[in-house]
Structure 1
Amino acid sequence: MTHHFLSNMTGIILCGGLSSRMGSDKGLLRTDVANWATDAARKLQDLGIPVKASINTLQENSYAHSLPGVELITDNTVLPVKGPLLGLLSAHIANPTEDLFILACDMPLMETFLLKELYTLYQKQDAEVFLYTNEGEAEPLCAIYTAAALHQIMTMLREGQLKKFSMKFTLDHLRLATLPLKEEQKKYFRNFNAHADLNGL
């Protein structure tokens, strides 16, 4: 069993979703000070870790311009997966020895203190994935995936054992350390997918 405490960590902002319901690129939506992707990157940088952004091939130009100084990892189109798992595994292939702290760009209400709590759990416990649970359901898009966990997902993929490309199916096969969200923390995990959701911002 590989222990993760000696690993390096990289933060990964997941921006590669197609944002089909929003009608425009979610990562580039403006906040008071920046865009969502930059905002997410800053929150992870507050942990003192390097941060990169996971994007799809159509986003290269816009993100090179909108996220200056942040290294971009473009989806590895050889992988036969879709959705957030594609971004996660593409980031792993680009950083195979790193533990990855994943944060989706469409959680603009996320607070750094929640990221720090997860980081503390990671420093204290031995597991393959560290995440919050909301009413018992995993929150896989604000989570720490160790290099060992990602290696295992890649092995499952190669051996045809990844029957579904959903994050929740994948998590069923890994050792998790979880923090249950308190009632007042749930709002920070709100996902914004459609314009109607933005009215709450």
Structure 2
Amino acid sequence: MIRGLVLAGGKSSRFGSNKAVARYQGIRLVERAVSLLNELSLKPVVAVQKGTGYPFLKCATIDDRLPDRGPLGGLYTAMTVFRNTSFLALTCDMPALTRPVLSELLSRHTPEFLATAYRTQDERVQPFPGVYGPLLLGTIREKLKTNSLSVYDLLDKTPRKQFILWRGDGRIFTNINSARDLRTFEMSDRHGREGFSGRPACPRGKPGERTGAVLRRLDCRSRF
């Protein structure tokens, strides 16, 4: 079984307020993420900071059991609450994501893999969105015990994984870290994203050819 998971438990310290409820094209970022997962019938759940309520969301929410542990803490929480469940996980601050991007992950992921994620043409892994299987729970738990919070490192140490080559615009993976990022993104969106200088989810990612271009599967043994 695969469920949708929106990671919305961050502090949003650079944003200055809770960015999950910031609006892009009139829609809250967290609502936008939940809507994408609902379109794929993935029964989304949202991992949030304890005490943070989103009554406008018509889906389950869970409090991070290990606060201030970043996306890895959110994955851990979801996997401990919903046992034996794989998750198509994304962060709440990725307004450029589209349904086809998520659908491709679902169509490529099979139980033989512990994780499935995208990789851009310059060899940079994009951990979100990504599919993460329940057998990773033990590895995640050990990483959290040593305060090793990098999802990139988790993927590096995962033996059975696959990366899908993204040949489109790398800005599809952009996440919003500040209010300025959001304003810049909105402005660039009105101009076809020409000159956009926001932050890709993988900071060193390089824009590809164009959004919506062909996706091809990479050998899961490829290095990054």
Q: What is the DSSP-based 3-state SS (H/G/I as helix, E as strand, rest coil) of the residue aligned with 2:46?
A: strand
Question: What is the alpha-carbon distance in structure 2 between the residues aligned to residue 137 and residue 115 of structure 1?
Answer: 18
- Structure 2: gaps spanning 5 or more residues: 187-224
The verdict on how the C-alpha distance between 1:181 and 1:57 changes in structure 2, with shifts beyond 3 A counting, is: same
Compare the two structures and name the one with the higher helix fraction. Answer: 1
Partner of 1:28: 21
Aligned partner letter, 2:91: A
Q: What residue identity is the alignment partner of 1:130?
A: T
Q: Deviations over 1:105-153 (max 9, x none)?
A: 1001101101001111114x72110000122222112100011123443
AA in 2 matched with 1:50:
K
Counterpart of 1:3 in structure 2 is none
Going from structure 1 to structure 2, the CA distance change for 1:58 and 1:141 (only over 3 Å counts) comes to farther
Tell me which residue corresponds to 2:116: 130
Change (3 A) 1:163 1:28: closer
Cα distance 1:169–1:194, how it changes in 2: closer, same or farther (>3 A)? same
Q: Which amino acid aligns with 1:166?
A: S
Find the residue that maps to 1:96 and give its secondary structure: coil
The aligned counterpart of 1:167 is: 151
SS in 2 for 1:179: strand
Any conservation in 2 of the 1:27–1:37 contact (CA below 8 Å)?
yes
Please state how far the C-alpha of 1:196 moved relative to its aligned partner. Answer: 1.8
Write the distance in 2 (CA, Å) between the matches of 1:108 and 1:171. 24
Corresponding residue pairs, total: 183
Q: Give the fraction of aligned pairs with identical amino acids, expressed as a percent.
A: 25
CA contact (8 A) 1:28 1:66 kept: no
Equivalent in 58, 62, 66 of residue 73 of structure 1: 62
Question: Larger relative CO (CA 8 A, sep 6+): 1 or 2?
Answer: 1
Is 1:146 the equivalent of 2:133?
yes
- Alignment of 1:190 with 2:174, yes or no, is yes
Is residue 113 of structure 1 aligned with residue 100 of structure 2? yes
Q: Normalized against structure 1, the TM-score is what?
A: 0.84
RMSD over aligned Cα atoms: 1.9
Give unmatched runs, 5+ long, in structure 1. 1-7
Q: For each residue in 1:78-106, what CA deviation from the matched residue of structure 2 results, as whole angstroms up to 9, or x when unmatched?
A: x8x71111111011111111101101010
Residue pair 1:133, 1:178 contacting (<8 A) in 2 also = yes
TM-score in terms of structure 2 length: 0.75
* Residue from 38, 48, 55 that aligns with 1:55: 48
Structure 1 window deviating more from structure 2 (163-172 vs 36-45): it is 163-172
Query: CA separation in 1, counterparts of 2:44 and 2:13?
Result: 25
2:61 aligned counterpart, secondary structure: strand
Query: Equivalent residue for 1:4?
Result: none
Give the 3-state SS of the residue equivalent to 2:102 in structure 1.
helix
